[in-house]
Amino acid sequence: MPALSEFELVKERSRQLRGSIAEGLADPVTGAIGEADTKLLKFHGSYQQDDRDLREERRKQKLEPLYSFMLRARLPGGVVTPAQWLVFDRLARDYASSGLRITTRQTFQWHGILKNDLKPTIAAINHAMASTIAACGDVLRNVVSTPLPMQSAAHAEAYAWAAKLSEELAPRTTAYHELWLDGEKLVGEPEPEPLYGRSYLPRKFKIGLAIPPLNDIDVFAQDLGLIAIAGDGRLAGFNLAIGGGMGATHGDPTTYPRLAEVVGFVTPDRLRAAAEQIIAIQRDWGDRGERRHARLKYTLDRRGTDAFKAELERRLGFALEPARPYRFEHNGDRYGWLQGGDGRWHLTLHIESGRLLDRGERRLLSGMRELARVHTGDFRLTCNQNVIVANVEAGDRARIDAIVAGHGLDGYRRQSAIRRHAIACVALPTCGLAMAESERYLPTILDRLEAQLARHGLLEAPILLRLSGCPNGCSRPYLGEIALVGRAPGRYDLRLGADFAGQRLNRPYRENVDEPAILDALEPLFARYAAERSPGEGFGDFLVRSDVLGPARQIPAEGIA
């Protein structure tokens, strides 16, 4: 067994995620908390960040960096009631610096919360019957689930499972209550957690549940993907797909994005046990010496998927059933009004980069607040950073449309296809990992690409663009037909050739290039696509078929050295 990484020791000694967070919060001299505590804080749903635009300026001003906290809610399946929405909106205006941010994992983030405001914000979120616990950290993260409730009955059942897993597999530590909700102070040493022990997981763990034919949650990018299998209009069970993950490190071939492998099927009554045991094996087998290799995907490639499955069946005491057939159509969102099986209506709105903020005519934050005031159904956040106004009675549609149009929320009606489907991570100025711009660059690169596409008559071609400020992959860039992965300010890796269904990874096409080089590289490809594509053929599929990208390298053929 290699030596434990430093953070493993921090976790182990943290007294179940307490560390010295309380002392750090109380220190009036700095807007930050202790270095080790920043890592523990993630388990509570928050990242310490600073405004990187201001770092140098403030250094000269003899001021510390402008520290603030990103806070992330845990919203299983992305479901938000109108009452919750109004609370989250108020918190965004009272405490955050840039509105509400819909994440690629179906939840909200608030950025720019000052240290002293962290506790009241977290308390208010909990008061609204939501939480932030385990929204980040080496634990089971927010469980995502196909949000569009088209097949009402099956969707309701599937969502209930997502919520159940999210709830039951969350950490049990009382540190959360103690720190944020004025819970009783623990005296003495805490008991280790039943599932997570003293050291929690080696790395984050993501569960996503997709209801075919929609793969809008990118089920193969999850550590554990659940593919709902319906039978007779009811939920029959789930195919289990394990070992997906996006993150990689530039220049380190032992790290790579990987799609999950389908290993079998379980009926709903066995789901909880299967999920728990998969997490438990990863807890026991995962690499705790090197965080870069700690995700389940590396565990599988190191120990073998067969061995993992055998261990799973041994621990469960039963064998997995053979996987059942399924078919995904695509992994984007379906914009506009759609009617569900029960007759109610759902309106999917496109929110660029998931950022709800008032900017000039586009008063997205205010518009959503107005909707929350009148809406009688609920809201669903999507993994593509969008929002669904769900369960609308037919008679309410006109009123909803008026609010949407009145606040500039109706971009989906006019935008080009590439703009509607693009997603981008937050990156600069708040994300500490960002190497290049992402969210702030998206409008610019979209303008450039639209101009190019317009010249080729491709404005209506649904091309999936994903933009990321670093290779860690929050925007799931390795599943974009076109992806830009940040390497340095203004420079990106250009990756091409994923499908539009989340079932094929893209491949590097140009490395570390600037905008002109990116546009130059794409120009002839757009030209050929416009001229040579088959009817209905996606850009990524075309590139693969026409052999533009050369032979695919089998992943994980790169393997771990």
Partner 1 sequence: MNALVAPEPLPATLDPEKTALLARLADGLAPEQLYWVAAWSAARAGQVQRGVAPLESPAADVAAARLTILYGSQTGNAKRLAEALAGRSESGGLPVRLVRADAYSHRELARETQLLIVISTQGDGEPPDDARGLVEFLLGKRAPRLPGLHYAVLGLGDSSYPQFCEVGRQLDARLAALGATRLAPLGEADVDIDQVAVPWAARALEQARERLGRAEPPVVRAATVHALPARGAYSREKPFAATVLANQRIVSRESERAVHHLELSLEGSGLRYAPGDAVGIRPTQPPALVEQWLQALHLDGTQEVTHDGRTLPLAQWLGRERELTRLSRAFVAAHAAASGDADLMRVLRKEHAASFAQLLASHQPIDLLRRYRAAWPAEALVAALRPLTPRLYSIASSPRAVGEDEVHLTVARVAYEAFGMPHWGAASAFLAATGEDASLPVFIEPNERFRLPAEDRRDIIMIGPGTGVAPFRAFVQDRRESGARGRNWLFFGNRHFTRDFLYQVEWQEALKSRALHRLDLAFSRDGAHKTYVQHRLRERGRELYAWLEGGAHLYVCGDASHMAKDVHAALLDIAVAHGGHSADTAREWLADLLTQGRYAHDVY
Residue numbers at the binding site for partner 1 (CB under 8 A): 28-31, 54, 57-64, 66, 114, 116
Q: In whole angstroms, how close is the CB of 60 to partner 1 at the nearest point?
A: 6
Q: How far is CA 305 from CA 261, 270, 469, in A?
A: 9, 20, 31
Number of neighbouring beta carbons within 10 Å of residue 194:
9
Given CA atoms 93, 42, 469, 551 in this order, what sign does their dihedral have? negative
| Catalytic site residue from 11, 101, 115, 141 | 141
| Whether 141 is catalytic | yes
- Selected catalytic residue, list 105, 369, 470, 495: 470
Which of 26/405 has CB closer to partner 1?
A: 26
Alpha carbons 547 and 532: distance in angstroms, whole number? 13
| In contact, 223 and 206? CB cutoff 8 Å | yes
Q: Is 431 a catalytic residue?
A: yes
Active site residue 258: no
DSSP alpha helix (H) spans, 375-460 = 397-406, 417-421, 442-455
| CA dist., res. 18 & res. 11, Å (int) | 9
SS3 508: strand
> What is the phi/psi pair of residue 363, to 5°?
-100, 70
- Containing 345, the helix (H) or strand (E) segment is strand 345-349
CB of 64 to partner 1, least distance (A): 6
Phi, psi of 87 (to 5 degrees): -65, -50
**Cα–Cα distance measured from residue 525 to residue 387, given in angstroms and rounded to the nearest whole number:** 32
Choice between 3 and 63, CB closer to partner 1: 63
Q: How far is the CB of 63 from partner 1 (least distance, A)?
A: 5
CA dihedral 228, 231, 232, 233 (to 10 degrees): 0
59/545 with CB nearer partner 1 = 59
- Report the residue number, 30 or 267, with the smaller CB distance to partner 1: 30
Which one of 39, 474, 495, 507 is the catalytic residue? 474
Nearest to partner 1 of 64, 450 (CB atom): 64
* CB of 63 or CB of 451, closer to partner 1: 63
> Is 204 among the catalytic positions?
yes
Q: Is 363 a catalytic residue?
A: no
* Nearest CB to partner 1, comparing residues 16 and 68: 68
In 168-267, which ranges are E strands? 207-210, 224-231, 234-242, 261-266
Is 206 a known active-site residue? yes
Nearer to partner 1 (CB atom), residue 62 or residue 327 = 62
Contact call for residues 428 and 52 (beta carbons, < 8 A): yes
Give the three-state DSSP class for 386: coil
Q: Using N-to-C axis directions, what is the helix angle for 268-285 and 296-303, rounded to 10°?
A: 80
- The answer to whether residue 39 is catalytic is no
C-alpha span between 100 and 89 (Å, rounded) = 7
C-beta closer to partner 1: residue 68 or 151: 68
Least distance from partner 1 to the Cβ atom of residue 116, Å = 7
Q: Which of 18, 105, 206, 258 is catalytic?
A: 206
Catalytic residue list contains 136: no
| Closest approach of partner 1 to the CB of residue 287, in Å | 35
Catalytic residue among 72, 74, 295, 476: 72
Cβ pair 243, 327 in contact under 8 A: no
One of 203, 204, 363, 507 is an active-site residue; which one?
204
What residues have CB less than 8 Å from 450, skipping those under 6 apart?
A: 416, 418, 419, 459
Q: Can you give 49-114 as a three-state secondary structure string?
A: EECCCCHHHHHHCCCCCCEEEEEECECHHHEECHHHHHHHHHHHHHHCCCCEEECCCCCEEEEEEC
Q: Which amino acid is at 249?
A: T
Could you say which of 431, 476, 487, 507 is catalytic?
431
> Per the residue annotation, which of 380, 425, 487, 504 is the catalytic one?
425
- Which residues are known catalytic residues? 72, 141, 204, 206, 425, 431, 470, 474
